[in-house]
Amino acid sequence: MKAVEELDYKPNMIARSLRRRKTNTIGLLVSDVENPFFSEVARAVEATAYERGYSMIFCSTDENLEKEMLYVDVLFAKQVDGLILSPAPGDHDYLYRYLQNDARVVFVNRFIEGFPCPSVVSDDENAMYELTSQLLRSGHRRLGTIIGVELATTTQLRLNGLRRALQEVGQTLDDVIQFYGYSRREGGYQAAREVIAMKDPPSAIIAFNSVMLDGFLLGLLDLAPHLIPQIEITGFGYSLVARACQPSKRYVRQPSYEVGQAAANLLLDILTGKREWNTDQIVIPNDIVVRGASPGLPVPEIRTVR
């Protein structure tokens, strides 16, 4: 111990991990770091990992499958003990070679239908159904949507919820004006340009994430601010821009921190033997927030789907 102190010796963590076959490190790959949802997920995963004696390596794939494949390869080459992944659109059969070597992967926010990995998601379909139903009950019949990444499970589930609500008033998705924002701020801005050019714009707009909501509001602020009080603009997530403009009294509060925390605990429980490897899906409810309402809408319990 005297020599350790005099030499300021530090253990070689790489050598130690090779011997133990464990690095106490996990990887987190999100599809878009610009999205505040994923920033909050990352904060939750890092905090949970730290509390449980693990560190985290963070990567953003920018919705690029090739970039995702590269980062997955790099992280497992660095011998992370497990991986939390929000999959980019595309074919994920490449993951099978890692799973066949007992790699542990947990999907977060999105999942791949039929893939043998557990996942943690929010209840997007029911949240969209309830949000759309409230708009329809308020008298809106000419709706517009700003859609994100079309093939993502989050997008498909939200479209399902929208479809269900429309059916109850005799409408279909064909009655909705659909803008494609590709989950980018620029996409929301372009949607604003298209709305401004319309003779009969929608009376309400639902953005599929807060990044596109920001872009849409910034577009209106720059080009046609008079339209902001004329259109009810809402969606998934709420930003500082939306707080300033107050374009709607309702929005979907996404449980981003809870999703990240649950994903981290699920992976770490599997890695430490507290939970068996499984293909369960943990579903965490979104919350429809109505400004000025009290005490708020009831929130269902988290559920696990096997």
Domain that holds residue 106: 2-122+256-285
CATH of the domain at 105: 3.40.50.2300
Looking at the structure, tell me whether residues 129 and 249 fall in a common domain.
yes
Looking at the structure, tell me whether residues 69 and 214 fall in a common domain.
no
Looking at the structure, tell me whether residues 110 and 136 fall in a common domain.
no
In contact, 237 and 210? CB cutoff 8 Å: yes
Count of other CB atoms within 10 angstroms of residue 201: 17
> 305 in a domain, yes or no?
no
Q: What is the DSSP letter of 230?
A: G
Looking at the structure, tell me whether residues 84 and 102 fall in a common domain.
yes
- Taking the whole predicted model, whether its pTM rises above 0.95 is answered as no
Q: Beta partners for 108?
A: 120
Q: What is the pLDDT along the chain (306 residues), one digit of tens a residue?
A: 788 777 766 665 455 544 456 899 999 999 999 899 999 999 999 999 999 999 999 999 999 999 999 999 999 999 999 999 999 999 999 999 999 999 999 999 999 998 999 999 999 999 999 999 999 999 999 999 999 999 999 999 999 999 999 999 999 999 999 999 999 999 999 999 999 999 999 999 999 999 999 999 999 999 999 999 999 999 999 888 988 898 998 999 999 999 999 999 999 999 999 999 999 999 999 999 987 654 444 444 566 766
Closest CA to 187 of 164, 202, 205, 163: 205
User: How many domains is the chain built from?
Assistant: 2
> 39 in a domain, yes or no?
yes
